[in-house]
DNA sequence: ATACAAGTTCAAGTGAACTTGAGGTCAAGG
DNA sequence: CCTTGACCTCAAGTTCACTTGAACTTGTAT
């Protein structure tokens, strides 16, 4: 029933992305297209899945380069197989869990902050999650899920 | 005991930001500094709180412009008061809840995806959260928390 | 046949958030 | 006094993910 291929405008409409973005993705090697006699792009329907995949990965915080690398093992025409999905999904799930945990930390800090009287900043969870700053550089970054490298590096300071 | 003011290198160390980033923030009007006789920046200790505030806001997804606007009501030297914190914290809590919810949707989709056999893509939650695509443009974007405007605009299509 | 929307390529521009570099100043140690 | 290194300013460069514009071709409707 449905056409085998879709053109860039339909892909744009169905994916919610601008045509220019899709051309950009193709230029970057994230997606591939066949061409019509008149050189128009013809995308197989499976491209929708791939684009959804790309957007999802982006939302998990991956760069387009990283996504390309993740898809890189696949022969150019191929869309992700079940195994590809499984392995990538597991990796992403970990990233997502980390992101969610970081946001929860921030959310909770914010919750206690709302009624805490932040002007007595010694006790403000958002300002400083531990208690007083025991190590230099141990500010809100830990709370935000950033790599607390200074903290790790200078333990036993205060 | 502690000095009243800190210099840019200490602020950089304690906040985890590069000095160049802090100068940039100052140029953008997000933070303010006094100057020593020799024109070096002298930050009051409360700057740490303000920087933490900025980073937290950024992590919630606000742009520096938005953060500046949020802090804009404050007279230039002032750090956020309890009332400021409360109102901003509430706004952020909402944003955070939305972000967390979006990530949970993605996480759950991913969870069911891991074992779902994505090649039968009709049933893949990540590919299409509803069931079949009822409306054009209703791909992963809804799942990702993006504004599903096309969906809203073209109801009653499929 | 003509018009015109929608497609094409390629180069350049955009905006956010910084970083880097050039060229100069200042404070502390030997 | 002199060097060294941290600081200063200002302009320009960087990265990411696209968008925009110019110049041209194609497909469709009248």
pLDDT confidence tier of residue B102, bands split at 50, 70 and 90: confident
Bridge-based pairing of strands A5-6 and A34-35 is unpaired
Residue with tokens 């792009």: A41
What token pair was written down for B129? Answer: 């959260």
**Nearest Cα residue in chain A from B98:** A103
Q: What is the 3-state secondary structure (H, E, C) of chain A?
A: CCCCEECHHHHHHHHCCCHHHHHHHHHCCCCCCEECCCCCEEEECCHHHHHHHHHHHHHCCCCHHHHHHHHHCCCCCCCCCHHHHHHHHHHHHHHHHHHHHHHHHHHHHHHHHHCCCCCCHHHCCCCCCCCCCCCCCCCHHHHCCCCCHHHHHCCCCC
pLDDT of residue B132: 29
For residues A87 and A27, membership in a common domain is answered with yes
pLDDT of residue B58: 83
Cα A98-A103-A104 angle, rounded to 5 deg: 95
The size of chain B, in residues, is: 158
**H or E element at residue B35:** strand B34-35
For residues B90 and B57, membership in a common domain is answered with yes
Neighbours of B126 (CB within 10 A): 29
Q: pLDDT exceeding 90 applies to what percent of chain A?
A: 27
For residues B77 and B121, membership in a common domain is answered with no
For residues A149 and A125, membership in a common domain is answered with yes
- Average pLDDT score, chain A: 69
pLDDT of residue B152: 25
Tens of pLDDT, residue by residue over A82-91, are: 666 677 777 7
Q: Find the mean pLDDT for residues A70-80.
A: 54
Q: What Rg, from alpha-carbon coordinates, does chain A have?
A: 23
- Nearest residue to B53 via CA among B19, B94, B82: B82
For residues A72 and A135, membership in a common domain is answered with no
pLDDT of residue A56: 79
pLDDT of residue A138: 33
For residues B78 and B125, membership in a common domain is answered with no
Q: Find the mean pLDDT for residues B98-110.
A: 75
Provide the residue range defining the domain that includes A134. Answer: 113-154
The answer to whether some atom of strand C lies closer than 7 Å to the beta carbon of A49 is: no
For residues A76 and A130, membership in a common domain is answered with no
* Of the partner residues B93, B106, B111, the one whose CB lies closest to the CB of residue A59: B106
Tens of pLDDT, residue by residue over B59-71, are: 777 889 988 887 7
Residues forming beta bridges with residue B41, ordered by sequence position: B35
Q: Are B66 and B95 in contact (CB under 8 A)?
A: no
- 3-class DSSP state for residue B83? helix
CA of B84 to C1' of D7 (A): 34
Separation CA A39–CA B103 (nearest Å): 39
Q: Contacts of residue B93 in chain A, CB cutoff 8 Å?
A: 107, 110-111, 114
For residues B102 and B118, membership in a common domain is answered with no
Domain ends where: A91, A106, A121?
A106
For residues B29 and B84, membership in a common domain is answered with yes
| Count: domains in chain B | 2
Under 8 Å CB pairs connecting chains A and B tally to 151
For residues A63 and A133, membership in a common domain is answered with no
Domain ends where: B89, B106, B123?
B106
Q: Contacts of residue B144 in chain A, CB cutoff 8 Å?
A: 55-56, 59
* Of the partner residues B48, B96, B115, the one whose CB lies closest to the CB of residue A139: B48
Domain ends where: A89, A106, A123?
A106
Whether the pLDDT of residue A112 is over 80: the answer is: no
Q: Which of B17, B18, B110 to mutate to test the interface with A (most CBs of A within 10 A)?
A: B110
Q: Find the mean pLDDT for residues A7-19.
A: 95
d(CA A35, nearest CA chain B) in Å: 23
For residues B94 and B120, membership in a common domain is answered with no
Q: Are B150 and B137 in contact (CB under 8 A)?
A: yes
For residues A84 and A63, membership in a common domain is answered with yes
The answer to whether some atom of strand C lies closer than 7 Å to the beta carbon of B21 is: yes
């Amino acid at each position: 029933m449905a056409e085998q291929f879709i053109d860039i405008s339909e892909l744009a409409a169905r994916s919610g992305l601008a045509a220019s973005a899709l051309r950009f993705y193709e230029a970057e090697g994230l997606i591939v297209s066949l061409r019509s006699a008149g050189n128009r792009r013809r995308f197989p329907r499976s491209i929708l899945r791939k684009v959804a995949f790309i957007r999802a990965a982006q939302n998990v915080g991956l760069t387009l380069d990283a996504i390309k690398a993740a898809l890189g093992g696949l022969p150019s025409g191929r869309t992700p197989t079940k195994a590809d999905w499984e392995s990538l999904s597991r990796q992403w799930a970990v990233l997502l869990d980390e992101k969610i945990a970081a946001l929860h930390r921030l959310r909770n800090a914010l919750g206690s902050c709302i009624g805490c009287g932040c002007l007595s900043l010694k006790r403000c969870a958002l300002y400083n999650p531990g208690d007083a700053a025991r190590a230099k550089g141990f500010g809100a970054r830990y709370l935000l899920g950033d790599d607390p490298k200074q903290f790790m590096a200078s333990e036993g300071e205060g």
